[in-house]
Amino acid sequence: MSPENPNAKLIYMANQIATFFQSQPAEVAAQGVATHINKYWEPRMRRKLFEHIDHGGEGLNPLVLEAAPKIRRPEAA
Amino acid sequence: MSLIHEIDYGTPASKSEKLVTLTIDGREITVPEGTSIMRAAMEAGVEVPKLCASDMMEAFGSCRLCLVEIEGRAGMPASCTTPVAAGISVSTQTQRLKDVRRGVMELYISDHPLDCLTCAANGDCELQDMAGAVGLRDVRYGYDGANHVKARNNGEINRQWAPKDESNPYFTFDPAKCIVCSRCVRACEEVQGTFALTISGRGFDSKVSAGMNEDFVSSECVSCGACVQACPTATLTEKSVIEIGQPEHSVVTTCAYCGVGCSFKAEMRGEELVRMVPWKDGQANRGHSCVKGRFAYGYSSHKDRILNPMVREKITDPWREVTWEEAFAHVASEFRRIQYQYGRDSVGGITSSRCTNEETYLVQKLVRAGFGNNNVDTCARVCHSPTGYGLNQTFGTSAGTQNFDSVEHTDVAIIIGANPTDGHPVFASRLKKRLREGAKLIVIDPRRIDLVRSAHVEASYHLPIKPGTNVAILTSLAHVIVTEGLANEAFIRERCDWSEYEDWAAFVAEPYHSPEATEAYTGVPAELVRGAARLYATGGNGAIYYGLGVTEHSQGSTTVMAIANLAMVTGNIGRPGVGVNPLRGQNNVQGSCDMGSFPHELPGYRHISDDATREIFEKLWGVTLSNEPGLRIPNMLDAAVDGTFKALYIQGEDILQSDPDTKHVAAGLAAMECVVVQDLFLNETANYAHVFLPGSTFLEKDGTFTNAERRINRVRRVMRPKNGYADWEVTQTLAQAMGLDWNYGHPSEIMDEIAATTPSFAMVSYDYLDKMGSVQWPCNEKAPLGSPIMHVDGFVRGKGKFIRTEYVATDEKTGPRFPLLLTTGRILSHYNVGAQTRRTDNVVWHPEDRLEIHPHDAEQRGIRDGDWIRLASRSGETTLRSLITDRVAPGVVYTTFHHPTTQANVITTDFSDWATNCPEYKVTAVQVSPSNGPSDWQVDYDEQARQSRRIAGKLEAAE
């Protein structure tokens, strides 16, 4: 995990989730990622994820980006 | 209050369903076929004299005291070894029997010291009782002849005599008082399954011997106490009884160590605990115990216990003792200030898996209702959170499926990532008993744990996997079962979603999941995997037991799902003898999870976003609850480093020692402005605390613990809290200081609130528990007696869900700099971070953590057994001493984490389970090299710990 990027850990966690759902049937994969993040990620974490996605989402697994519209976007802090 | 006397029926109950009627002393009695006459007599209310018999073990027939006469039969058979028969008429008291018994007793007493008045067993001696029962009035034989009683005979050394063995810290062995009834030997074999004791010699030379005439502490004895409990005389006696005397009352309570949840009688004299004796009616332990629960309670009165609240401005200041009022006012004002300054979500709490359900419930209630957020988590985060996730996804509820009695019906047990003889010893004894009866065992573990091969136990298969490849091996097992046509399709069609099964079956059938393909990275020969799969699928009732070696991985949750898949594909769910059984680490891990300790769910595993569930609590608590999940422990620490999380209330958990990547935990804690630690001792986390609230032990409070089998057991107070308040009272008063209107008068009222809000606990109350002994949730209108086995007629979620489990290698990889894989575990004598057991005589067995290393790896590095070595990973380094052993494979090293100076978690990394953030403790790439002494980190840490433990006005406390 690169310490330079403050979002590195979050990206890593999101990608881990995506890696699991990638192996699941394609039709449920993106929804699986979104549901998981909605259920278990505190708004601060989701907010940071969206900040990163809004800045291009570099380093994120494409499945996370595919799931993004289904992830609940928290209100700005 | 009085001493609880349990009836000893003399021989175990018969399991036969056929009944037999006979007459004993003119009373007609009907008992199951196979019952001994002794037991039948006891059930009829007639106590036949006995010395060598106990209902904890099989009849032995050696003491010749339990003789009876049977009408029409010659002689005087022993009632313990003679089974009942239909229509027989038994006499337990005739002139002939009286004469013979008196003669037998006279011989026993002729070789027994007559120091009854000063004997530790005075008042609790079966030999004395029997002498009284048979009317012994005279002993005609003196000590002039051969005897075991006197050190010298007529001035000569008596070679039959042996001195007292006081080597075990908890009990003594005095051979002079031994009557060689073999109860201790049989208890060690039949109850504990260690076979440490034997009878050496024959005839009059017979004596009890630990190992090969060793002293107890150097023998294989595991100090479980079964022999002490079985001994009818003072030969084996607790040192506490010798020191204090016999107890005068007792209270049934629940052990506060591991997740087996053994029931004990706390035997008391006033408020002094004389001893803990396992309770035969305890449904988890059935009268057995281990060295921790039985003996290691001395921490509760250890001098290191902190009994006064303390506060300090900065963590570099010495502690200042304050009144409870000051401490509560300080915490309340700090938390309010921090929330005002940094926002409502800047504070949180951690519940304890060591505290009671009621206490845990209150902490999460304080966070949700008082702090107004869901930032609550619990130590289960770092152990069994993947169990919750994985079993919930597949079965629909996050708990083990069986009771412990179920093992008595198991034909094939798989143990994966668990070391029950050390971590869950009482369960291990029950499993070993079943294995000795012929059940088969498969062990999946990188290390050759004791169960692989020990006295009268041998695993049919040991799959020594490379750490981190659990998913690969389990998917390979599934591959064999599916491709060889061993799936239980009838079960799957009835109970599971068929299309999901088809999808999964096609997935596991892919050639790359075959044992031949996975062998390359699991390191397990394909033939072993195939053999194990066939055995599990076709060997009868198959049960899977697992521990943290499953959950504490990047793929922990996936592994739990893979286990659930295996149980479903073979139809091993929903009846006795089968199932998926997580072995819980701490006494109340199950309970703390049940009680809504996780940031995303309310009590009873209901997600916080569910409006109907929130409404139940909102109405009762009079608040509006946040519908967003809160932060988990690692997320709290990340947020603290980011500057958005500033205060934490921690009840009974030592995150600095128990959580991974110590440096990161320390950085997170150091970034907070108010850390409140509630504990028995100044633990490692308290080095970073601003407020210390003294905690109370399980002996000092009422409540309930829920064990690994979902069993809700009562914890009963036997003494006043030394710190003044039970932990639930501390939380309640803190809540009051924060303006919450809480007025619980007793923990039973908290349980009533739990029952009123949580459907799976609907019928649970203290009155009901007193009546039932214990119950397993769900306990409600549908299951008023509780639920020993789950998913009996169908899965909780409806249809069982098969989920694909793709193996993904962890990113923690070995390489030239870190070529070895470190994995971690427990040892029998210690518990978790050792805060309790290190403060008992259990340190005799394990004074320090050692690094197990294979001889090949050791030789390459020039390391000898016992050398100080440096253990380094990408995260940090530490030093400890080596232990050279081939229990670990080449390339794998292993250590325990019971001692804070070892700092094993300086080594472990930040990687965690994809679903739950449960840390990957079980795989760390490391290098090992010779060393001269402590690492810089250890030196700095020691100094920081020493500084931070100073208490103003007191001499420095020594650890």
- In a shared domain, residues B608 and B573: no
Reported as type and span, the H/E element at residue B665 is helix B662-670
Domain-located, residue B539: yes
Peptide bond into B169 cis (omega under 30): no
- One domain, residues B160 and B126: no
Cβ-defined contact of A40 to B631 (cutoff 8 Å) = no
In a domain, B955, yes or no: no
Per-residue DSSP letter, B923: -
Rounded to an integer, what distance in angstroms lies between the CA atom of residue B896 and that of residue B821? 14
The per-residue pLDDT for A77 is: 60
Which helix (H) or strand (E) segment is A38 a member of? helix A26-40
In a domain, B859, yes or no: yes
Which of A42, A71, A75 should we substitute to test contact with B (largest number of B Cβ atoms within 10 Å)? Answer: A42
Q: Residue B600 and residue A74: Cβ atoms within 8 Å?
A: no
In a domain, B6, yes or no: no
Question: Residue A1: pLDDT above 70?
Answer: no
Query: Mean pLDDT over all residues of chain B?
Result: 94
* A74 Cβ under 8 Å from any chain B Cβ: yes
Query: Is A51 in the B-facing interface, judged by CB distances under 8 Å?
Result: no
Tell me how far the alpha carbon of residue B168 is from its chain's centroid: 22
Q: How far apart, in whole angstroms, are the C-alpha atoms of residue B366 and residue B738?
A: 9
CB B472 within 8 A of CB B807: yes
Nearby residues of B25 by Cβ (< 8 Å), 6 or more positions away = B41, B44, B46, B90, B91, B92, B93
Report in angstroms the alpha-carbon separations of B416 from B6, B451, B469, B616, B644: 37, 11, 12, 40, 40
Contact between B23 and B90 (Cβ < 8 Å): yes
pLDDT of residue B383: 84
Answer for the pair A11, A17: CB distance below 8 angstroms, yes or no: no
Q: For residue range B809-861, list pLDDT tens digits in order.
A: 999 999 999 999 999 888 888 888 888 898 999 999 988 899 999 999 999 99
Answer yes or no: do B415 and B289 share one domain.
Answer: no
Of B106, B133, B160, the domain-final residue:
B133
Tell me the shortest Cα–Cα distance from B628 to chain A, in angstroms.
Answer: 7
Please check whether residue B798 lies inside any domain of the structure. no
pLDDT of residue B636: 95
Average pLDDT of the residues in B684-713: 96
Per-residue pLDDT at B949 exceeds 90: no
B635 contacts A9? CB cut-off 8 A: no
What's the CATH code of the domain at B881?
2.40.40.20
Identify the CA nearest to B818 among candidates B924, B949, B676: B924
Please indicate, yes or no, whether residues B432 and B557 belong to a single structural domain of this protein.
yes
Chain B residue with CA closest to A35: the answer is B915
Q: pLDDT category, B955, cuts 50, 70, 90?
A: low
Structural domain that includes position B427: 402-577
- Percent of chain B, pLDDT > 90? 87
CB contact at 8 A, B117 and B79? no
Q: Do A42 and B599 touch (CB under 8 A)?
A: yes
Assess whether pLDDT exceeds 60 at residue B582: yes
Instruction: Give, as one character, the DSSP assignment of residue B344.
Output: G
Contact between B873 and B821 (Cβ < 8 Å)? no
Contact B917 A39 (CB under 8 A): no
Which residue matches tokens 């073999």? B182
- Work out the pLDDT band at B505, boundaries 50, 70, 90: very high
Residues B117 and B252 both lie in one domain: no
Same domain, B556 and B604: no
Among partner residues A1, A23, A41, which is closest to B629 by beta-carbon distance? A41
CA–CA distance, B830 with B222 (Å, rounded to integer): 12
Q: Testing the interface with A: which of B367, B628, B641, B664 to mutate, by most A Cβ within 10 A? A: B628
B914 and A41 within 8 Å at the Cβ level: the answer is: no
The answer to whether residue B500 is domain-embedded is yes
Measure in Å the smallest separation between the Cα of A12 and chain B Cα atoms: 9
**CB contact, 8 Å: A60 with chain B?**
no
Residue B800 lies in a domain: no
Q: Which helix (H) or strand (E) holds B703?
A: strand B703-706
Q: What digits encode the pLDDT tens for the residues B25-53?
A: 999 999 999 999 999 999 999 999 999 99
Give mean pLDDT, residues A44-68.
94
Residues in chain B within 8 Å Cβ distance of A73: none
* Contact predicate B726/B700, CB 8 Å: yes
Q: Do A44 and B631 touch (CB under 8 A)?
A: yes
Partners of residue A19 in chain B, C-beta under 8 Å? 808, 914
> Is residue B958 predicted with pLDDT exceeding 50?
no
Q: Give the number of C-alpha atoms closer than 13 A to the C-alpha of residue B838, restricted to the C-beta side.
A: 17
- Backbone φ and ψ for B909, nearest 5 degrees, come out as -100, -175
> pLDDT at position B929, please?
94
**Strand runs (DSSP E) across B255-375, as ranges?**
263-269, 272-278, 310-311, 320-321, 347-351
pLDDT digits (tens, 9 = 90+) for B322-360: 999 999 999 999 999 999 999 999 999 999 999 999 999
Q: What is chain A's length?
A: 77
* HSE of B685, CA atoms in CB hemisphere, 13 A: 31
How many domains does chain B divide into?
Answer: 5
Q: Report d(CA B614, CA B608) in Å as an integer.
A: 7
Residue B176 pLDDT: 96
What pLDDT, on the 0 to 100 scale, is given for residue B956? 56
B19 pLDDT band, cuts 50/70/90, is very high
Please report whether residue B1 resides in a domain. no
- Judged against a pLDDT cut of 90, whether residue B935 lies above it is answered with no
Tell which of B577, B603, B629 closes a domain: B577
Looking at the fold, whether B447 and B356 belong to one and the same domain comes out as no
A2 pLDDT tier (thresholds 50, 70, 90):
very low
The two counts, helices (H) then strands (E), for chain B are 30, 38
Percent of chain B scoring above 70 in pLDDT: 99
What are B637-664's pLDDT values in tens digits? 999 999 999 999 999 999 988 888 788 8
Residue for token digits 């949730």?
B777
Distance CA B759, CA B781 (A): 9
Q: Are residues B515 and B562 in the same domain?
A: yes
List pLDDT tens digits, range B857-901: 999 999 999 999 999 999 888 899 999 999 999 999 999 888 877
Task: State yes or no: pLDDT of B614 exceeds 70.
Answer: yes
Query: Do B554 and B439 share a structural domain?
Result: yes
Tell me the average pLDDT across B895-919.
Answer: 86
B25 & B96 share domain:
yes
pTM above the 0.90 mark?
yes
The answer, yes or no, to whether residue B959 has pLDDT greater than 80, is no
pLDDT at B463 over 50: yes
First to last CA, chain A: 26
Residue B356 and residue B440 share a domain:
no
CA distance B258 to B832: 9
Q: Which two tokens stand for residue B864?
A: 């000898």
A24 contacts on B by Cβ (under 8 Å): 803-804
Closest CA to B102 of B61, B66, B131: B131
CATH number, domain of B236, equals 3.30.70.20
In contact, B261 and B253? CB cutoff 8 Å: no
Of A6, A23, A45, the CB nearest to B635: A45
Does B186 lie in the same domain as B104?
no
